[in-house]
């Protein structure tokens, strides 16, 4: 049993485990202490000083790094403390670009919220000289605007500590301090993997996705274009948050209806692409296992992970599955199978993907993902961008009726929808691989051993008379640890799933932004994954190979998984990348 200590905070006696901070103790007592730079488990540095408290010491101390001790008496809300916090906010605003109405984070900005709570006006006592920075918008995925940066270093910590990338950090000193890449290079010149974890952990509008909504509106309005849209599995688990639904609410039906009302010509589902990916990937895995191919085979659905592997671990490129990611497969099928079936010139078709991921924007630009001079996917918007389009169109999302996806590429199984959670691709592949290898029906389709939010999971799966050792990693920092195990020969894995974002796509860089305060109490990864697993349980079919539209596409077009035509349209290759390109 943990050793417990007692302390008093604002007159409330609270008991917490020894080793807790005063910030944690205050939350246990139901007392909210404001924070700005704090990010639970990632950035606990006491730099912004917003969380200062009076513990009886000679000066105010930052609660996020102040150890709670037995018998301690703490005050969190004295006139002195409130005035101190107001001063911090006014000083922060004195160098901050205050264009709140045009800011992508307006009304979802932690700085804005703190100013409102503490009564700090736009005009402050400390107006003076400001540094002026050029906006870095050359990346296909991420825009950096240092004019809005508050130097909290949350982006720096998540990039280095969680993702093991570390392409941004503080440079210069004092008033000239800024968060930059080395030698003031642009993100597009660095080994940034485009994952967007910096965006979803930024408290303000200093980091945001490269907006493609205007491009999509223009495509929809173009009478010469036949525009097809497809939303990823994780989008339906988070889109509702942008319209007031509780975290973890699945809004699949309303999302399908909203997409049709926006004016898209066809609404297909990336879940179908996930089922198609499993057919190709499971076939590739079985082939490698039975013919002595390169093992462990590693998944290729996450473009952030692919770029990370190409850049930091190119020795593992032969291990990557050659399968394109699900939305790229759908794009390829739309511009071939669907186009032929409906007599449409594929060059007049535009495919728009709605993704939980900013790295998908980079992926769509990869020249190897296309055919006949066409990209598989023409535009990628994030969950946040779709929400903005729905609001711009005046659509009352909450009162929409539930709709369906269009046939041909709109049907999916439970295996397809769980792709959005860490372990989901592995579980989906195992459901199909088991029946492919054994010829027997898999009764219990839920592989609990690969579920959950642990950074690295492994399981020994019995398939017929074979024992197959598999592993799952989420977050590229955890991927590095897993790859070290592979290098050492410690574990003879057959199959490895890697997702670039911690917790998988549900926590992708394009998902609705959740404040650091809320993240102290709610695990975004867990709540959103519940929506996907709930959909999986409710699906009449839960194995990718049972999808009738998948059966039809092979019977009528692709012949079989791994066929020449399938390889031509659904598979690709990867390349070693330089650490920087300036």
Q: Which residue out of 122, 127, 184, 368 is catalytically annotated?
A: 368
Alpha carbon distance 536, 304 (integer Å): 25
* Residue 83 falls in the annotated catalytic set: no
Cβ partners under 8 Å of residue 490, min gap 6: none
3-state secondary structure of 360: helix
Q: Which residue out of 48, 64, 103, 301 is catalytically annotated?
A: 301
Nearest CA among 31, 66, 30, 32 for reference residue 46:
66
Nearest CA among 108, 118, 55, 63 for reference residue 85:
118
Alpha carbon distance 459, 462 (integer Å): 10
| In contact, 12 and 28? CB cutoff 8 Å | no
* Residue 368 falls in the annotated catalytic set: yes
For residue 374, give the DSSP letter: E
**Alpha-helical segments (H) within 38-183:** 79-94, 110-118, 154-157
Cβ partners under 8 Å of residue 274, min gap 6: 233, 326, 412, 415, 416, 417, 419, 425, 428, 544
Where in 280-393 does DSSP place strands (E)? 297-298, 349-355, 370-371, 374-375, 379-382
Cβ partners under 8 Å of residue 531, min gap 6: 236, 237, 248, 249, 250
Q: Which residue out of 241, 280, 281, 328 is catalytically annotated?
A: 281
For tokens 């790229």, name the residue: 328
Nearest CA among 563, 574, 582, 543 for reference residue 275:
543
Q: Which residue out of 363, 427, 535, 546 is catalytically annotated?
A: 363
* Residue 440 falls in the annotated catalytic set: no
Q: In 557-576, which positions are buried (b, 16+ CB within 10 angstroms) versus exposed (e)?
A: bbeebbbeebeebbbbebee
Q: Which residue out of 300, 321, 353, 412 is catalytically annotated?
A: 321
Count Cβ atoms below 10 Å from residue 182 Cβ, excluding itself.
14
Q: Which residue out of 310, 427, 505, 543 is catalytically annotated?
A: 505
* Residue 527 falls in the annotated catalytic set: no
Rg (CA), the chain: 25
Please state the φ and ψ torsions of residue 307, each to the nearest 5 degrees. Answer: -65, -35
* Residue 212 falls in the annotated catalytic set: no
Q: Which residue out of 260, 360, 539, 543 is catalytically annotated?
A: 360
For residue 424, give the DSSP letter: H
* Residue 121 falls in the annotated catalytic set: no
Cβ partners under 8 Å of residue 12, min gap 6: 29, 30, 31
Residues facing residue 463 across a β-bridge: 466
Q: Which residue out of 180, 209, 212, 284 is catalytically annotated?
A: 284
* Cis upstream peptide for 533 (omega within 30°): no
* Residue 398 falls in the annotated catalytic set: no
**Alpha-helical segments (H) within 51-138:** 79-94, 110-118
Cβ partners under 8 Å of residue 403, min gap 6: 253, 254, 256, 257, 260
Nearest CA among 499, 268, 232, 512 for reference residue 388:
512
* Residue 117 falls in the annotated catalytic set: no
Catalytic sites, residue numbers: 281, 284, 301, 321, 360, 363, 368, 505
């Amino acid at each position: 049993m943990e050793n417990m200590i007692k302390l008093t905070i604002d007159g409330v006696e609270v008991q917490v485990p020894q080793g807790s901070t005063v910030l944690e103790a205050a939350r246990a007592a139901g007392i909210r202490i404001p924070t700005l730079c704090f990010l639970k488990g990632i950035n606990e540095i006491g730099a912004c000083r917003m969380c200062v408290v009076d513990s009886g010491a000679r000066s105010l101390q930052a609660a996020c790094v102040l150890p709670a001790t037995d018998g301690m008496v703490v005050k969190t809300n004295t006139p002195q403390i409130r005035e101190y916090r107001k001063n911090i906010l006014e000083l922060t605003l004195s160098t901050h670009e205050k264009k709140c109405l045009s800011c992508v984070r307006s009304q979802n900005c932690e700085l804005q919220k703190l100013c409102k709570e503490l009564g700090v006006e736009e005009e402050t006592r400390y107006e003076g000289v400001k540094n002026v920075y050029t906006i870095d918008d050359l990346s296909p995925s991420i825009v950096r605007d240092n004019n809005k940066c508050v130097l909290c270093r949350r982006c720096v910590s998540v990039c280095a500590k969680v993702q093991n990338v570390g392409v941004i950090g503080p440079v210069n000193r004092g008033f000239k301090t800024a968060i930059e890449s080395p030698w003031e290079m642009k993100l597009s010149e660095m080994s940034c993997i485009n994952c967007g974890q910096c965006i979803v952990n930024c408290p303000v509008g200093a980091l945001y996705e490269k907006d493609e909504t205007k491009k999509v509106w223009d495509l929809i309005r173009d009478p010469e274009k036949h525009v097809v849209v497809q939303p990823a599995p994780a989008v339906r688990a988070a889109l509702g948050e942008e319209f007031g639904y509780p975290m973890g609410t699945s809004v699949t039906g309303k999302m399908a209806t909203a997409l049709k009302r926006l004016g898209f010509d066809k609404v297909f589902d990336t879940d179908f692409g996930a089922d198609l990916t499993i057919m190709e990937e499971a076939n590739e895995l079985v082939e490698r296992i039975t013919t002595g191919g390169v093992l462990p085979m590693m998944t290729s659905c996450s473009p952030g992970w692919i770029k990370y592997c190409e850049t930091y671990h190119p020795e593992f490129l032969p291990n990557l599955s050659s399968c394109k990611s699900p939305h790229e497969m759908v794009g390829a099928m739309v511009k071939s199978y669907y186009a032929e079936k409906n007599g449409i010139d594929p060059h007049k078709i535009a495919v728009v993907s709605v993704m939980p991921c900013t790295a998908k924007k980079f992926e769509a630009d990869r020249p190897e993902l296309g055919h006949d001079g066409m990209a598989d996917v023409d535009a990628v918007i994030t969950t946040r961008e779709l929400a903005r389009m729905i609001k711009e169109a005046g659509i009352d999302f909450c009162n929409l009726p539930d709709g369906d996806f269009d046939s041909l590429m709109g049907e999916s199984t439970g295996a397809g929808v769980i792709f959005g959670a860490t372990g989901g691709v592995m579980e989906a592949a195992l459901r199909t691989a088991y029946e492919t290898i054994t010829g027997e029906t898999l009764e219990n389709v839920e592989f609990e051993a690969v579920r959950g939010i642990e950074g690295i999971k492994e399981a020994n799966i019995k398939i017929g008379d074979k024992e197959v050792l598999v592993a799952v990693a989420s977050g590229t920092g955890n991927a590095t640890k897993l790859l070290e195990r592979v290098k050492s020969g410690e574990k003879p894995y057959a199959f490895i799933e890697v997702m670039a974002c911690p917790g998988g796509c549900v926590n992708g860089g394009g998902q609705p932004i959740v404040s650091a305060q809320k993240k102290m109490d709610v695990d975004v990864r867990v709540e959103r994954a519940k929506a996907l697993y709930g959909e999986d349980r409710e699906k009449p079919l839960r194995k990718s190979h049972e999808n009738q539209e998948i059966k039809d596409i092979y019977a009528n077009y692709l012949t079989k998984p791994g066929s020449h035509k399938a390889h031509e349209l659904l598979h690709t290759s990867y390349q070693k990348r330089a650490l920087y390109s300036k």
